[in-house]
């Protein structure tokens, strides 16, 4: 059995090129078992490409190991222990919900039919409905119910809640934590809706233009980053003292400055300090040129 300190994913110098476009640039990271990792990046950043590499669905250069397997060469063995939800859940439209459940039960030895039915019971999906009669959001719900009922060591979710309403999105993340996750499992989630997953993540990875620009356990965020709210006059004093923000945003009546690797005690005398939200951090790390105006 995998122990808590074993690596589920190891990526070493991973690169991916589509013609002239370099979609992944020298990516290095590792993920231990029992983590919930948010892979966050703007459109076209390389998230799906990286996930496809991890699953052996796209060839990449460099070293990649997932659950001890080489995804490109040992895809069959790897896929037995991984569940994956793509950002576009495709299902045959003529299929009935009950047939979809039967199908996964037939092909996946680790599928738990009762669990799937338990998840489906929380939705408005009827077991005799056909996929063609379900809304886009309901198809995603069906897909999630099927995948969460598979007892796999690694769950990869690419924009899992796209198209779902807020009530179901919350329900989904609650179910993910209470009914799916345990310390023997690992989850990698990509999303644009950072605020929703902020509280369930153990680790944060930001990717921008194919580069990994942040890779940090959540508990280190407060240690490494500080947000300081000051008036415009105080801002000058902060800068005079030699503290340079990595980004700034104009707020009502002042400025919000974001600092990296500067102890918050040093900043307290100038204004109000707090730990930045993941969304603020994302803007600062991924789009620094657009702030500070």
Ligand X SMILES: Nc1ncnc2c1ncn2[C@@H]1O[C@H](COP(=O)(O)OP(=O)(O)OP(=O)(O)O)[C@@H](O)[C@H]1O
Residues found near ligand X in the complex (CB under 6 A) = 18, 21, 23, 41, 43-49
Q: What are the C-alpha distances in Å from 206 to residues 78, 123, 186, 276?
A: 25, 32, 18, 15
Cβ-defined contacts of 246-253 (< 8 Å, 24+): 246/284, 246/285, 246/288, 247/283, 247/284, 247/288, 247/291, 247/292, 248/291, 248/292, 249/280, 249/283, 249/291, 249/292, 250/293
162/177 with CB nearer ligand X: 162
Instruction: Find the shortest distance in angstroms from Cβ 20 to ligand X.
Output: 10
Instruction: Find the shortest distance in angstroms from Cβ 61 to ligand X.
Output: 15
19/253 with CB nearer ligand X: 19
Instruction: Find the shortest distance in angstroms from Cβ 188 to ligand X.
Output: 13
23/120 with CB nearer ligand X: 23
23/138 with CB nearer ligand X: 23
Packing angle between helix 113-121 and helix 136-148, nearest 10 degrees?
150
Instruction: Find the shortest distance in angstroms from Cβ 164 to ligand X.
Output: 16
Q: Is 172 helix (H, G, I), strand (E, B) or coil?
A: helix
- Token output for 58: 């796209």
Query: Could you say which DSSP state residue 262 is in?
Result: S
Instruction: Find the shortest distance in angstroms from Cβ 47 to ligand X.
Output: 3
38/46 with CB nearer ligand X: 46
């Amino acid at each position: 059995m995998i122990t808590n300190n074993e690596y589920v994913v190891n990526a070493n110098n991973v690169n991916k090129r589509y013609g002239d476009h370099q979609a992944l640039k020298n990516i290095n990271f590792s993920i231990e078992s029992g983590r919930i990792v948010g892979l966050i990046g703007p459109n076209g950043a390389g998230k799906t490409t990286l996930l496809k590499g991890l699953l052996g669905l796209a060839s990449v250069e460099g070293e990649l190991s997932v659950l001890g397997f080489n995804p490109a060469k040992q895809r069959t063995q790897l896929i037995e222990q991984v569940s994956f939800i793509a950002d576009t859940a495709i299902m045959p439209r003529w299929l009935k919900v009950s047939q979809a459940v039967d199908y996964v039960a037939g092909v996946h030895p680790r599928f738990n039919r009762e669990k799937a039915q338990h998840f489906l019971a929380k939705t408005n999906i009827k077991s005799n409905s056909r996929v063609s009669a379900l809304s886009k959001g309901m198809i995603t719900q069906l897909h999630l119910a099927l995948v969460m009922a598979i007892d796999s060591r690694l769950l990869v979710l690419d924009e899992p809640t796209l198209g779902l309403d807020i009530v179901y999105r919350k329900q989904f993340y609650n179910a993910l934590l209470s009914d799916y996750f345990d310390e023997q499992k690992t989850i990698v989630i990509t999303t644009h809706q950072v605020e929703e997953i902020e509280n369930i993540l153990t680790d944060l990875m930001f990717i921008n233009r194919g580069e990994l620009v942040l890779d940090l356990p959540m508990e280190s965020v407060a240690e490494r980053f500080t947000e300081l709210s000051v008036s415009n006059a105080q801002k000058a004093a902060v800068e005079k003292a030699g503290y340079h923000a990595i980004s700034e945003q104009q707020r009502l009546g002042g400025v919000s400055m974001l600092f990296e690797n500067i102890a918050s005690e040093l900043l307290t005398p100038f204004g109000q300090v707090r730990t930045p939200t993941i969304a603020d951090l994302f803007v600062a790390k991924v789009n620094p040129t657009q702030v500070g105006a």
